[in-house]
Amino acid sequence: MSDTNIQKEASEYAELIAVYSEDIALFAEHVFGSKLSPKQREFCEAFRTNRRISFKGGTGFGKTFVLATCFWWALICHEEVQVSILGPSEPNLRATTWKEVLKFYDRMAAPFDETFTVSATRVSSTSNPSSCFGEYRLASKDNISAIRGIHMRSNYVFVDEATGVDDEVFIEGLGGIFADPDPKLCIIANPSRASGYFWRTWCDPELAPIWTHVHGTFWDSPNYDPETFAETAKSYGGPTSRDYRVMVEGEFPLSDEDGLIPRDLIDAAVRNEDVVPADNVPIIWGLDPAGAGKDSSVLCIRHDNKVLEFREWNGLNPTQLSQKIYELWVQTPKAKRPAVICVDGTGLGNGVWSNLKHDYSLPTYNVTYSGTPTRNPEKYSRMKDQIYWETRDWLATENVSIPNNARLIEELAAFKYEDASGKIKVEDKKLVRKRIGRSPDFFDALAISFAVSKTRYASKYNWNSKIVYDHLQTLE
């Protein structure tokens, strides 16, 4: 072939790539003979034009199909690119997503099939294998250092089954890709959990706005037909079931499975702005102290059926935190001061409680999570179970108000419980920490405020006012 013909072919190839770079649907049709559905086109366009893409969808949408389409588009249309597919289960990645990638290669049109070398775990450009390649790997907090090391000029990462991936992977591992010139992070999942990082990309008022959202339902399936839909709807339990909501409608469940607090109660409390606390019920502060690590010391200020606000401090030792609480007490008008400050007295919290009580002479109550329940001991295993369940009962009245705080909302929805022993037992906080990537400090602070009975301090007067007896003359 003459140099002129080689140059002509190279020019035509470059022009074709330029066209494909602007149209993934056309790319899929020409290179793989695939017709994309409208929702799949929406997904591809979102991926092509944005840096952060979060897709939630029900079954039948063909997410693995469209992921493989975008995977190959990235490799063919970019000269210097790394495309990574991450997921919580390596066997599942190999058997589903990566298998679909290899199937696409089998039907790839010439001359593109000649420009790549394909192995069981990696796809690479034959001309530039170190700078243009794709691979899959396990996404786990145990290999964050390897994930953190993913870098390339065009750095495109897909996270499949994102609800099963540890939050640390997103926060500590994948955040670094945005230091590269051309990054993309696309996370994909059935929305099966009402908590976690994937949920926050849709529902956290601070995080959600930076993500481009694509929502697919069973009706968006390329092979949708009414008869199949009717059968599927029945198999998932019908429109009122959790599975139908997740797998057919592609929506987050109202709460996590076996959740302590249903999500609809949480949402109702956030929306309820007309709550008026009773005059004769005192303000109570609930304090969850933390050390100098990553956890926060959180104070909940609650007046009867309304959480007025939260205060948060980081990196304070017991003496410093005690001083902050005392300063807040002094700055608070007398009529707005709490009748009692409930403090988690476990561990270093005992020092905070002691300082507030003995050094500052503030009204305090030492809450021992592992202690015996003070109310209905036949119902609860520990004090922790009591105050967490009473928080649930408080929300269940649907006459309460809480701030629209994303961390609080996620923590309220994250806990599970069991009552097989005949007593309610809320799951260990360590398990929740593992799921959401942090200690549930806001929920703790709110729950601690329920450690004392409101009737113990109920009065329209100050909590320590002398008792005034009416009609003493009638007793003389």
Distances (CA, A) of 120 to 82, 87, 96, 406: 17, 17, 13, 41
pLDDT beyond 50 at 175: yes
Distances (CA, A) of 281 to 12, 107, 276, 284: 79, 72, 11, 9
pLDDT tens per residue, range 27-60: 999 999 999 999 999 999 999 999 999 999 988 7
CA distance 12 to 8: 6
**Which domains does the chain show, CATH number per domain?**
3-248 (3.40.50.300), 263-457 (3.30.420.240)
pLDDT tens per residue, range 58-107: 887 788 999 999 999 999 999 899 999 999 988 888 889 999 999 999 99
**pLDDT number for residue 221:** 83
pLDDT tens per residue, range 296-329: 899 999 999 999 999 999 999 999 999 999 999 9
8 A C-beta contact, residue 28 and residue 74:
no
pLDDT tens per residue, range 361-378: 999 999 998 899 999 888
Provide the 10 A C-beta neighbour count for residue 403: 16
Tokens representing 319? 């003496």
The alpha carbon torsion through 144, 148, 149, 153 (nearest 10 deg) reads 150
Phi, psi of 470 (to 5 degrees): -85, 155
8 A C-beta contact, residue 436 and residue 444:
no
Phi, psi of 20 (to 5 degrees): -60, -35
8 A C-beta contact, residue 221 and residue 61:
yes
pLDDT beyond 90 at 435: no
Max Cα distance, the chain (Å): 124
